[in-house]
Amino acid sequence: MRLSRYFLPVLKENPAEAQIVSHRYMLRAGMIKQQAAGIYSWLPLGFRVLRRIEEIVHQEQIRAGHIPLLMPTLQPADLWRESGRYDDYGQEMLRIKDRQDRDMLYGPTNEEMITDIFRSHVNSYKDLPLTLYHIQWKFRDEMRPRFGVMRGREFLMKDGYNFDVDRESALHAYNRHMVSYLRTYERMGLTAIPMRAASGPIGGDNTHEFLVLAQTGESEVFYDDRVTGLKLGSRDIDYDDRDQVAKVCEEFTTLYARTDETHDEAVFNQVPEAHRKVGRGIEVGQIFYFGTKYSQAMGAEVVTKEGTKVPVEMGSHGIGVSRLLGAIIEASHDDKGIIWPEGVTPFPVGIVNLKQGDGAADAACEGLYKALAAKGLDALYDDRDERAGAKFATMDLIGLPWRITVGPRGLANGVVELTSRRTGESEEVSPEAAVDRIAQIYAGR
């Protein structure tokens, strides 16, 4: 993408309404525009990151054997009357009437609708296990929408729902989600810690939230700091292997890690003092096992191998897709701007032409741009007629992990400069070597 033809409305001043760094940088980098309290347009740069995060979520869900579909944002109230949640959900639910005076709502979550789909089409254990998910906009009329996309009213969620014949299988689905979430967050450059939590309006008594530690987080958390060192890494997971998946979950949930909702001071005090930490975290996901809460209320039954009819066992699992942008920025920035992890960056690399209009510099930049494109890498080429300082400031603000700087002086010696946004370190290399290095870095993406 050539910056001269792109739409990147960066702001020079700090927007007064932004209280936390991620909100400030998302506005300044021209990623989002607020349209109403807690409701945002996603401008091209923000939209690229959002799509990238969605892609990682899809890949890891599909790897775990889960099946994508798409349900609507608007739902009929009658489904929610069946489960009893229409009245229970309270003021967070946006209620709408259509022209026939029918009660509708903008979905805050989809347990009822997925249960309705299930009961219409499945009635035998032979069709289980089944996990369906979608990535769709949700609406919750939050009392205090704030911090930009972090607590929106309209927000993008991945929500998945498992259907199993018995409790053991449903608990395996719960574990499978936990492991697939760990991998998902790691690919985004995040450490998200599963913590025992409370289930709120979704229900059930088995639930974990995934928290990214950050000063600006809305949840108070209590943990053994050894938990922050655990990594899934590139280990091979067989998602059908119940024991292996359960062992990974055990590894990640044995050390003390709880939100204030489930915190138990007496148990916490058994953690060696040097490891006992109290902090704040951003909730980027939550998984639930609630058994037959919805299937019983809505008549979603299956015939077992033995020929008896039982309500299907269920759980639901959510990732805050749009919130993740804020969480990643909170975890990865400096005073100049965002530092995107390679997994989610909107562009893999930026090209800065120090002297637009100089024949050699222009030709070298074009050459780099095309060579990267030939390797499937869409660089952001700053081809504007701007001062070098302004170009660097923009690149630093929008946070691409790598920058190639091209100027007449370097080119006279056959080199360009390759700079890491994270470390600030630069190397002089030939244009060909720069392309190879970038291609190598993104080879696994």
When asked if residue 293 is in the footprint of ligand P5A (CB under 6 A), the reply is no
Q: How far is the CB of 232 from ligand P5A (least distance, A)?
A: 19
Residue pair 170/240 in contact (Cβ under 8 Å)? The answer is: no
28-34 long-range contacts, Cβ below 8 Å, gap at least 24?
Answer: 28/337, 28/397, 29/337, 29/338, 29/397, 29/398, 29/399, 31/325, 32/148, 32/149, 34/148
Closest by Cα among 334, 208, 195 to 278: 195
Distance from the Cα of residue 70 to its chain's centroid: 18
3-state SS assignment for residue 422: coil
C-beta closer to ligand P5A: residue 115 or 419: 115
C-beta closer to ligand P5A: residue 159 or 396: 159
When asked if residue 134 is in the footprint of ligand P5A (CB under 6 A), the reply is no
C-beta closer to ligand P5A: residue 112 or 301: 112
- Write each residue from 305 to 344 as x if it is in contact with ligand P5A (CB under 6 A), else as -, in one continuous string: -----------xxx-x-xx---------------------
Q: How far apart are the first and last CA of the chain?
A: 19
Q: How far is the CB of 135 from ligand P5A (least distance, A)?
A: 11
Q: How far is the CB of 274 from ligand P5A (least distance, A)?
A: 30
Residue pair 55/367 in contact (Cβ under 8 Å)? The answer is: no
Q: How far is the CB of 150 from ligand P5A (least distance, A)?
A: 6
Residue from 142, 218, 362, 417 binding ligand P5A (CB under 6 A)? 142
C-beta closer to ligand P5A: residue 115 or 353: 115
Q: How many CB atoms lie within 10 A of CB 441?
A: 16
Beta bridge partners of 287: 208, 317
For the stretch 306-331, what's the b/e string if a residue is b when 16 or more beta carbons lie within 10 angstroms of its beta carbon? eeeebbbbbbbbbbbbbbbbbbbbbb
When asked if residue 83 is in the footprint of ligand P5A (CB under 6 A), the reply is no
* C-alpha span between 373 and 55 (Å, rounded): 20
Q: How far is the CB of 360 from ligand P5A (least distance, A)?
A: 48
| Phi and psi angles of residue 423, each rounded to the nearest 5 degrees, phi first | -95, -20
Residue from 182, 202, 257, 300 binding ligand P5A (CB under 6 A)? 202
When asked if residue 285 is in the footprint of ligand P5A (CB under 6 A), the reply is yes
Residue from 60, 112, 159, 396 binding ligand P5A (CB under 6 A)? 159
Q: How far is the CB of 291 from ligand P5A (least distance, A)?
A: 15
Q: 282 is written with which tokens? A: 């951003």
Q: Which residue has the tokens 């002297």?
A: 355
Residue from 155, 174, 252, 392 binding ligand P5A (CB under 6 A)? 155
Q: 361 is written with which tokens? A: 């510099």
Position with the least CB separation from ligand P5A: 320
Q: How far is the CB of 43 from ligand P5A (least distance, A)?
A: 18
* C-alpha span between 260 and 282 (Å, rounded): 13
Distance from the Cα of residue 116 to its chain's centroid: 27
Q: How far is the CB of 245 from ligand P5A (least distance, A)?
A: 19
When asked if residue 208 is in the footprint of ligand P5A (CB under 6 A), the reply is no
Residue from 157, 170, 329, 344 binding ligand P5A (CB under 6 A)? 157
* C-alpha span between 141 and 135 (Å, rounded): 19
Residue from 22, 259, 286, 353 binding ligand P5A (CB under 6 A)? 286
Q: How far is the CB of 257 from ligand P5A (least distance, A)?
A: 15
- Write each residue from 98 to 117 as x if it is in contact with ligand P5A (CB under 6 A), else as -, in one continuous string: -----------x--------
When asked if residue 176 is in the footprint of ligand P5A (CB under 6 A), the reply is no
Q: How far is the CB of 60 from ligand P5A (least distance, A)?
A: 15
C-beta closer to ligand P5A: residue 85 or 119: 85
* C-alpha span between 53 and 190 (Å, rounded): 12
Residue from 52, 140, 176, 277 binding ligand P5A (CB under 6 A)? 140
Kindly give the pairing relationship between strand 219-224 and strand 257-259.
antiparallel
Task: By CB under 6 A, name the binding residues for ligand P5A.
Answer: 109, 140, 142, 151-152, 155, 157, 159, 202, 283-286, 288, 316-318, 320, 322-323
